[in-house]
Homo-oligomer: A and B are copies of this chain.
């Protein structure tokens, strides 16, 4: 059953339990989920398939822990462009910078807003220099995360 464009998939309590288990560990077995939610493995499987087809559950991924391979600095960088028309070229250039893990076109102060991972502050300086050389970039503003106290997915 496909839902109409822009309408939201309705999750019942069993769906939510299943999703939270998979959000916590993508490899949770059907048998384990089955025991927890009280329906058969087949029923769990059918629900997961439906949720995947609807796009509610997306592909599972393994996380690389940046800290463990020497990336200790998390920062957010607001980028000012003197003309918004440079946005698309800037994004194209930013995709070539591996340290940039998020880029947003935002309302508010900045034209582009970035999340950037670096090994250390020297490395961050390099990235800032690189950013400031991009066409149309007039200025950047950096927030360094000293401590990430919350990092999780949405709970509904």
Binding site for B on A (CB under 8 A): 8-9, 11, 19, 22-27, 54-66, 68-71, 74, 76, 78, 91, 94-95, 98-110, 113, 117, 141-156
Instruction: Given A104-B74, A108-B142, check contact A9 B69 (CB 8 Å).
Output: yes
CB neighbours of A149 from chain B (8 A):
91, 94, 103-105
Q: Are A62 and B58 in contact, with the CB atoms below 8 A? A: yes
A10 nearest CB neighbor, chain B only: B69
* Top 6 closest pairs, chain A to chain B, by CB: A8-B70, A103-B150, A22-B62, A104-B145, A58-B63, A26-B60
How far, in angstroms, from A60 to B59 measured CA to CA in the complex? Answer: 10
How far, in angstroms, from A94 to B87 measured CA to CA in the complex? Answer: 33
